[in-house]
């Protein structure tokens, strides 16, 4: 297909906003102008989407968990994992974390560093190795090669500063003016490089980004095993100035959510 060189091409973020507006209009029968921001809507993932979301978050840490496994564990049905298996404990913990995340969004409260510590404790509560060990005391177990992490005794200061009034490390005015997807990308990048937990720092960074996105009317980041290499490259790279990767992930996610008025 040929394109007219005189007609500007839509950016990836414009395509995302257009897709969101069109999809919400189709599903909710509301008169939303395509290409306009979608603030005022909240995405309510249905249960099968939560299963996919949980499986994807565990997959980017290397766990071979499928949505059908998540469904079986949460329903208490026989499946690949026994109740005492760590995968089953992580599935239950992720479900508790998503419940807390959705409550945070419903209360219109953005993520912050110490709330993410509570979220990690909800996620890791059934795993013995994380009891009294929710904050790392050394290099994280899931450290990425080439990333310089703050020393453990500096993590608390980083968490103190990780909140919306501080722009999550950006100038607050610049942060507020940025596109919501770019804001989420920078939140995820910075949190993954603080890596305050012994493990599961990349999934937790995705949860932080999803909280910010859902507050702005976007769906959460539903990722999969195939996304692990590019997410790790994203964290290893420089602070993002564009939101291409996250926009691509969200364009894949749009059909999975269910919008409702906040």
In a domain, 3, yes or no: no
Q: How confident is the model over 26-47, as a mean pLDDT?
A: 59
Between 43 and 213, the more confident residue is 213
In a domain, 35, yes or no: yes
Contact 69, 80 (CB under 8 A): yes
CATH number at residue 238: 1.10.3290.10
pLDDT above 80: residue 51: yes
Q: How confident is the model over 16-39, as a mean pLDDT?
A: 63
Model pLDDT, residue 40: 55
Residue of 257, 168, 179, 177 lying closest to 216 (CA atoms): 179
Phi-psi domain of 134 (left: phi exceeds 0; alpha: psi -120 through 50; beta: other): alpha
Model pLDDT, residue 253: 76
Model pLDDT, residue 131: 86
Sign (positive/negative) of CA torsion 42, 48, 49, 54? positive
- Model confidence at 257, in pLDDT bands (50, 70, 90)? low
In a domain, 103, yes or no: yes
In a domain, 4, yes or no: no
- Model confidence at 255, in pLDDT bands (50, 70, 90)? low
Model pLDDT, residue 2: 44
Question: How many domains are there within the chain?
Answer: 1
Pairwise CA distance, residues 186 & 249, whole Å: 15
In a domain, 7, yes or no: no
- Model confidence at 43, in pLDDT bands (50, 70, 90)? confident
In a domain, 86, yes or no: yes
Q: Which residues pair with 43 in a beta bridge?
A: 259
Q: How confident is the model over 143-169, as a mean pLDDT?
A: 97
pLDDT above 80: residue 239: yes
Model pLDDT, residue 26: 66
Per the structure, the complete domain to which residue 186 belongs is given by 12-261
Residue of 73, 76, 67 lying closest to 86 (CA atoms): 73
Residues in the chain: 262
Copy the structure tokens of residue 175. Answer: 């942060």
Pairwise CA distance, residues 209 & 181, whole Å: 9
Copy the structure tokens of residue 178. Answer: 């940025």
Compute the chain's Rg from CA coordinates: 18
**Percentage with pLDDT > 90 across the chain:** 70
Copy the structure tokens of residue 120. Answer: 């990690």
What's the chain's average pLDDT? 88
In a domain, 6, yes or no: no
Contact 58, 90 (CB under 8 A): yes
């Amino acid at each position: 297909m040929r394109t007219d060189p005189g007609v500007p091409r839509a950016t990836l973020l414009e395509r995302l906003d257009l897709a969101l507006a069109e999809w919400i209009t189709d599903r909710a029968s509301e008169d939303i102008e395509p290409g306009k921001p979608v603030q005022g809507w909240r995405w309510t993932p249905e249960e099968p989407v939560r299963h996919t979301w949980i499986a994807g978050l565990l997959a980017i840490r290397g766990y071979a968990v499928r949505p059908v496994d998540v469904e079986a564990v949460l329903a208490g049905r026989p499946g690949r994992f026994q109740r005492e298996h760590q995968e089953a404990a992580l599935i239950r913990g992720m479900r508790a974390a998503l419940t807390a995340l959705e409550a945070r969004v419903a209360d219109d409260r953005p993520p912050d560093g110490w709330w993410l510590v509570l979220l990690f404790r909800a996620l890791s509560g059934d795993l013995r190795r994380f009891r009294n060990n929710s904050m790392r005391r050394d290099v994280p177990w899931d450290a990425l090669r080439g990333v310089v992490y703050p020393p453990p005794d500096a993590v608390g200061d980083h968490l103190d500063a990780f909140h919306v009034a501080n722009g999550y490390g950006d100038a607050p005015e610049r942060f507020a003016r940025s596109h919501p997807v770019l804001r989420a990308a920078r939140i995820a990048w910075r949190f993954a490089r603080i890596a305050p937990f012994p493990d599961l720092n990349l999934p937790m960074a995705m949860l932080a980004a999803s909280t910010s996105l859902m507050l702005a009317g976007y769906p959460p980041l539903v990722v999969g095993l195939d996304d692990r290499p590019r997410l790790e490259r994203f964290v290893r790279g420089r602070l993002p100035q564009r939101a291409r990767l996250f926009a691509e992930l969200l364009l894949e996610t749009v059909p999975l959510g269910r919008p409702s008025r906040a």
